[in-house]
Amino acid sequence: MNRYRLRGRKPVSLLFLSFIVGASVLAGPAQSQTSGSTDTSPGIFDIESLDGTNNNQGNANQGAANTNYPRVGPASYVDGKSKPVSGPNSRFVSNRIINDVHQNIFSDRGVSQWGNVWGQFLDHNLGLRNENGETANIPFNANDPQETFSNDLNVIPFNRSGAAPGTGVNNTRQQVNTVSSYIDADVVYGGNNDRLEWLREGSVDGNVRNNGAHLMLSNGYLPQAGARGDAASAPSMEVNGRLLDHPDDAFIAGDRRANENIALSSTHTLFAREHNRIVDQLPFFLTNEQKFQIARKVVIGEIQFITYNEFLPAMGVTLAPYQGYDPNVDASVSNEFAAVGFRGHSQIHGEILDLDVPNGTYTQAQLDAFEDLGIDVTVGPDATNVQVPIGVGFFNPQLLKDLGEGVMLKGIGHKSEYNNDEMIDNQLRSTLFQIPVEGNPDCVDGVTMPECFHAVVDLGAIDIERARDHGIPKYNDLRKAYGLAPKTSFTAITGEATESLGRNSADDPRSLEFVSLADIDGNNIPLGTDEDEAQPTSGVRRTTTAARLKAVYKGDVNAVDAFTGMIAEKSQPNSEMGELEQAIWKKQFEASRNGDRFYYQNNQGLATIRAVFGIDFRTNLGDVIARNTDVPRADLEDNVFFSPPPD
φ, ψ dihedrals at 12, nearest 5°: -120, 135
- Rounded CA separation 410/389 (Å): 16
Residue 12 reports pLDDT greater than 60:
no
pLDDT, one tens digit per residue, over 247-274 is 999 999 999 999 999 999 999 999 999 9
Please report the pLDDT score of residue 485 as a whole number: 98
DSSP state of 319: P
Question: Cα 175 to chain center, whole Å?
Answer: 20
Residue 548 reports pLDDT greater than 50:
yes
> How many CB atoms are closer than 10 A to CB 577?
24
> How many CB atoms are closer than 10 A to CB 364?
8
* pTM across the whole model: 0.94
pLDDT, one tens digit per residue, over 191-231 is 999 999 999 999 999 999 999 999 999 999 999 999 999 99
- Rounded CA separation 553/88 (Å): 7
Please name which of 631, 629, 9 lies closest in space to residue 277, comparing C-alpha atoms: 629
pLDDT, one tens digit per residue, over 528-546 is 888 878 889 999 999 999 9
Q: At a CB cut-off of 8 Å and minimum separation 6, what does 647 contact?
A: none
pLDDT, one tens digit per residue, over 378-429 is 999 999 999 999 999 999 999 999 999 999 999 999 999 999 999 999 999 9
Sign, Cα dihedral of 31, 35, 39, 45: positive
pLDDT, one tens digit per residue, over 62-87 is 999 999 999 999 999 999 999 999 99
Please name which of 52, 20, 26, 21 lies closest in space to residue 39, comparing C-alpha atoms: 26
> How many CB atoms are closer than 10 A to CB 451?
15
Question: Cα 347 to chain center, whole Å?
Answer: 11
- Contact at 8 Å (CB) between 355 and 636? no
Query: Please, which pLDDT band fits residue 1 given cuts at 50, 70 and 90?
Result: very low
- As a whole number of angstroms, the longest Cα–Cα distance in the chain is 89
Helix (H) or strand (E) run with residue 517 in it: strand 514-518
- Rounded CA separation 165/160 (Å): 15
Query: Please, which pLDDT band fits residue 647 given cuts at 50, 70 and 90?
Result: low
Domains of the chain with bracketed CATH: 1-474+561-647 (1.10.640.10)
- Rounded CA separation 121/357 (Å): 26
Please list the residues that pair with 239 across neighbouring strands.
none
Distances, alpha carbon 546 to alpha carbons 352, 391, 556, in Å: 30, 30, 12
